[in-house]
Chain A
Amino acid sequence: MTSPDDRIEQRAHALYRQASQQLDPAMAGRLRAARREALQPAPSSHRAARLLLPAGAFAAVALAALMVWQPHRGTTAPARAVPALIAGTGQDDSDLPPDADSADPTLYQNLDFYGWLAANDSSAPERR
């Protein structure tokens, strides 16, 4: 003899099975399609993502390297310009003073002399 609980369990189980079997064809078809889609191999977007990851990392490293390198370029360019500036002080009337680090210290010691020389150098050919 079966207990009331057993009867409920058996009946509920049977109803569940029947309900599952008698699913409407449209939904059964959708479930079949969903299963096939789930079992498809990983879509190409995943493979593309795998390739994009190192490419993105490389791009980030390249960008970082470029940003680190850029300030050096900014500092080296004026450094190269200074000797040219110093060399050209005779001809070019530049507003920028010569770089104190790279210039000869005697330049500053005899600044009055060089000032006089510069002023008289332009008039020298006229005397001849």
Chain B
Amino acid sequence: MNSLAVPMTDDVLTEEAGERSVPATLDAFLAQVERRAFRMAELQLGHREDAFDAVQDAMLRLVRHYRDKPAGEWSPLFWGILRRRVVDLQRRRKVRSIVVGWLGGGRDGDGDELPTWEPADPGPGPLDRLHDAQSWRDMADAVRKLPLRQREAFMLRVLEGLDVADTARAMGCSEGSVKTHLSRAMHHLRDQLEEWR
């Protein structure tokens, strides 16, 4: 049984307090979000290298196309870019699975369907160093089971802590849609994370 309370460490609290102020430079902003962006991409893609590629690409695109935007807009822009990059990678992976299926790799010798192809992950366990690794894994499993839009709303609004307006901008939808997706996501998570209640 996992521990229910996850105390916020001093580092985490200090970090969050620092983030409330708008960063002065793009370097400072990216330094703030890069690790969280990696965790968010990893949570959705389930693969460290793909997650790193997505974050790297999102950083590049933000710098190239939006470096002249006001600092207050960087956050929704960055998370929006990362969201689209993750979706692209998921689609590419799906296409790859279909191609493998066409080439006859989708069925075993008995004609039974094989599980969807996933790239091998050679890196260390994603959260070997995390004290509450099992809780994180439980949450990751539950979040991955959510439909795409509900998952995005939950991650941006609850995990990343964006406000409704910024979440809507990052998701490219209305604020009402964000609230609907989030409400449905919480409904699903209540069922799946019963131990947390």
Contacts and interface: CB of A to CB of B under 8 A. Distances in A.
Contact of A38 (B59, B123, B154): B59
Given A21-B11, A35-B27, A35-B30, A12 B35 contact: no
Interface in A29-86: 30-32, 34-35, 37-39
Nearest to B190: A4
A16 B159 contact: yes
Nearest to A5: B186
B56 A8 contact: no
A24 B52 contact: no
Tell which of A16, A21, A30 has the most Cβ of chain B within 10 Å.
A16
B6 A14 contact: yes
B135 interface: yes
Interface stretch (B92-100, B112-120, B126-134, B172-180): B126-134
Provide the main secondary structure of the chain B interface: helix
Contacts of B16: 17
Interface string B27-53: 100110011101110000000100010
B189 A20 contact: no
A7 interface: yes
Given A5-B186, A13-B161, A19-B127, A27 B136 contact: no
Interface residues of A, number: 29
Provide the main secondary structure of the chain A interface: helix
Contact of A31 (B52, B139, B158): B52
A22 interface: yes
Given A8-B186, A15-B139, A24-B128, A32 B6 contact: no
Interface string A1-12: 000110111011
A32 B34 contact: yes
Contact of A19 (B7, B56, B130): B130
A33 B8 CA distance: 28
Contact of B158 (A13, A32, A39): A13
B109 interface: no
A50 to B, nearest CB: 15
B56 A17 contact: no
Nearest to A38: B59
Interface of A: 4-5, 7-9, 11-24, 27-28, 30-32, 34-35, 37-39
13 contacts: A8-B193, A11-B5, A12-B159, A16-B40, A16-B160, A18-B9, A18-B131, A22-B130, A27-B38, A34-B34, A34-B52, A35-B31, A35-B34
Given A11-B6, A11-B196, 17 more contacts: A5-B186, A7-B197, A8-B193, A8-B197, A11-B5, A12-B158, A13-B158, A15-B132, A17-B15, A18-B131, A22-B130, A27-B48, A31-B34, A31-B35, A31-B38, A35-B30, A37-B60
